[in-house]
Amino acid sequence: MEIILASASPRRKEILQNTKLKFEVQKSEIEEAVFEEESPESMVVRLAYEKAFDVAQKNREKLVIGADTIVVLGDEVLGKPKDEEEAFDMIQKLSNKTHRVITGISLINLKKGIVVNDYRVSYVTFKDLSEDSIKDYINTKESLDKAGGYGIQGYGALLVEGIQGDYFNIVGLPISKLSDLLKDHFDINLFYGG
């Protein structure tokens, strides 16, 4: 079965390339709408599904993988900052606190009528960060396309005191969870690539 990753994220692509799975990448064109009354878990699963479904409609025979990642502090969802000032504010909020990183996953094959949605949660604790440390991080230009304003796989690792859970979930694709879902629902083994 041909496989498509419905994501423009270079980080997701790289994680999946670390397995033997053969896949192509197609970016979804959906608007990432946020609804007030929706839980963070429901939101990431819905967005992952919408991304996957958008691409699956044009590729009915193929298995499409969609994913969406958010950062949640208390009840507040921290998306991608619109500018450096907002990135600074986000990282300052995260300083000396533990937050959740939630990634929704959606697997869709329209020809077979199979839709699988799930998510994984990890916890990240930031160090007590000075304003200068936050400014130094913002100056790396790493924060603008990342949920919560940081990327743990880059300089963002310097902000982190510790993590609990799946590291790859924090990067944007919980590969262990994805491996289980592919095996259970599509008989695809990532150890062998199919």
Beta bridge partners of 73: 76
Please calculate the CA angle 97-102-103 and round it to the nearest 5 degrees: 150
Enumerate residues 6+ apart whose C-beta is below 8 A from 2: 24, 59, 61, 62, 63
The residues that are catalytic are: 68
Distance CA 193, CA 119 (A): 22
Pairing between β-strand 3-5 and β-strand 24-25 as defined by DSSP bridges: parallel
Please calculate the CA angle 59-118-147 and round it to the nearest 5 degrees: 90
Distance CA 24, CA 20 (A): 13
